[in-house]
Each structure stands twice: as C-alpha cells, then as structure tokens.
Amino acid sequence: MTTLVFGHKSPDTDSTGSPIVWAWYLSEILGTPAKPALLGESNTEALFMLDHWKLDKPEIISGIEAGQDVVIVDTNNPAELPANINEANITAIIDHHALIGGLQTKAPIQIRIEPVACTATIMWKMIGKDMAQMPSEIKGAMLTCILSDTLEFRSPTTTQEDKAIAWSLAESLGVDISDYAAQMFAAKSDVSAFSEAELLRMDSKEYEVGGKQFRVSVLETTSPSAILERKDALMAAMPDVAREDGADQVLLFVVDILNEEATMLVPNELTKSVAEKSFDAKVTGDTVVLPGIMSRKKQIIPFLKV
Ligand code: MN
Ligand code: MN
C-alpha cells in the first residue's frame, strides 16, 4: 500500500512542502512507497513554492479510506485532519505543535514533536546523512517551509536549529535568503482573489478560552493596508463564519511581517474585552495595533483571556 503523507487542512507552506519532503524520503531512501497529499487548496505562498521549484502539486484528497497507511505532519490535532483519521493506519507523526490529544493508533508508532519553528527542520535532522541524496527541488521545498514558518527568522518561534539548517540549505542551493523570502512573502500577500470568508479561514485554528470557542485567524502579509482596507467587510463576515464553523467568535490578527506587529480587528464588546485583557492594550476604535506580536502559537494563544 502507498503511504499517504499529509499535513493540516487549509494547507500552508509547511503542510504543502513537508509532505513532499517526507514522501521523497520514504519512497526514495527507505524504499516505502509514499506520496504527498493535501487536505484542501494550498495558500498562495505554497503555490509559489511549487511553481518556483517545479514540484508537482500533491493531489487534494477529500477524505481517507479506513486502514489507509498515513503519516501526519505539521499537526497532531484531529480537528485539522479528516473526520475518520482514527480509522486510518497512522504510522508516524512529525510535528512542532502543542500535543492536543485525540489521535489513536492500533500499534506503537514513531512520533517526533520538537519545539522548533518548522516541521522541515525536524525532518532535516531525521534524514541526516541521507540529505546528500536529496534533489535540489526537495531541498528548495525544505528551505521555503523554514523561511515561511519563521517569517524569515523574525518569528519568536525561531530556534538556532531552524536558522542553521535554513542557511545550510540556502548555501547548497545558491539561494539568497532575503531576496527569496521577499518573493515568498509577496506571493503570500497577494490575497486579492479571496473572499472575506476565505480570508478568515485561510490560516485559522480553533481554541476554547473561558468557555468560549474562538476561531483564531492570522494573515501574515507585507502589505497590511491591502487587507485592512477591507476591514468593514471582514468584520461583517465574522458572524456567519463563526456560526458555520461552530465557533462563538472569529479573532483576526493581520501580521505585518516587515514591521513586526499585528493589527487585531475589534468588531464588538467581546473582542474588545479579549484585546484589552489578553494583550494589555487600550482599544479606542475597531482595530488595535499590537507591537511585536507575530506568532499565534507563542504570543497569542497562551495569553487569550475573555
Ligand atoms: Mn502549518
Ligand atoms: Mn509548521
């Protein structure tokens, strides 16, 4: 049976690139037939990566068969995976997120979760000496994943390992990191084709805080004005998105990658209270700027209060 390797729904660059990396390693080095898959359409930065490195786009799958061999990467959260994920034969999990619980396996499996910024960083360490056999386009995917998840080393999730591995990949590929990251972020920032509801779901994770269910959405961009000029329409779309997704409220943070700050939208009293209690901010209008905030994982989720 061919093992399917996939990341989370609403695939970002890491959930698009890391499955390609690991499927290559399983197939070409370990001799286990594997192919990458996507649980939905990739974001515009991930599509840029595929195009730039001339990688085949993984097949988008809508579900999995019971008993299917799968490797899960870049998440361990059942809510971000197919509904019947526990009917699959999960053979490994490689991730860099908090352990959520809920995944079940029929036998002991390989699990590797490390507090680094990116799944590809962990894979580089696991592949070890076999990196010497990795083709350039797969190395390119790895480098793109690390630059994406670290926001070119600006995110506080960045570790020395992420940096050292990215520099090593860039050197072997002859890539100028700042020039290449600028191209990536320009691709990620081009969201003009998406509806407000699509933007609110593009990079979004659900969390419960104080009995309230929040959809915490982040848009990383080098041109925040292009998103913030749509703020009225974005706020108007929030109630429907929340209701359809079983949440009480959408929280949207527009992360300005270059100026290293986030702008949170504040459509109502609940979000105003969350902004003031969580981030020690004084809210006067329908947005609030949060200096230095770039990481949902490290700077937003752990501090959320209602
Ligand atoms: Mn991800
Ligand atoms: Mn990741």
- Give the whole-angstrom CA distance, residue 33 versus residue 239: 44
If you measure from the C-alpha of residue 111 to the centroid of ligand 1, how many angstroms do you get, rounded to a whole number?
17
**What are the start-end ranges of the H helices in 174-305?**
177-189, 196-202, 224-228, 231-244, 269-279
pLDDT band for position 134 (cuts 50, 70, 90): very high
CATH T-level fold of 3-187? inorganic pyrophosphatase (n-terminal core) (3.90.1640)
Average pLDDT for 71-90: 97
pLDDT one-digit tens code per residue, 212-231: 999 999 999 999 999 999 99
Across the range 287-297, mean pLDDT stands at 97
In angstroms, what is the span from residue 146 Cα to ligand 2's centroid? 8
Assess contact for 91 and 112: CB atoms under 8 A: no
Q: Do domains 3-187 and 196-303 have the same CATH topology?
A: no
Cβ atoms of 263 and 228 within 8 Å: the answer is: yes
Q: What share of the chain is helix, strand, coil (3-state, %, to 5)?
A: 45, 20, 35
* pLDDT (0 to 100) of residue 93: 98
Q: What is the pLDDT of residues 105-130, one digit of tens each?
A: 999 999 999 999 999 999 999 999 99
Provide the whole-model pTM. 0.96
Q: What is the dihedral of CA 242, 149, 231, 268, to 10 degrees?
A: 50
Measure 10 CA to ligand 1 centroid, in angstroms. Answer: 9
Query: Largest alpha-carbon pair distance within the chain?
Result: 60
Select 196-303's CATH number: 3.40.50.20, 3.40.50.880, 3.40.50.2020, 3.10.310.20.
3.10.310.20
Distance 226 CA to ligand 2 centre (A): 25
Q: Report the DSSP beta bridge partners of residue 112.
A: 94
Strands 3-6 and 249-256, by their bridges, are: unpaired
Take residue 208 and report the two structure tokens written for it.
Answer: 């419960």
Quote the pLDDT of residue 31: 98
CA of 231 from ligand 2 middle (Å) equals 27
* Domain regions of the chain by residue span: 3-187, 196-303
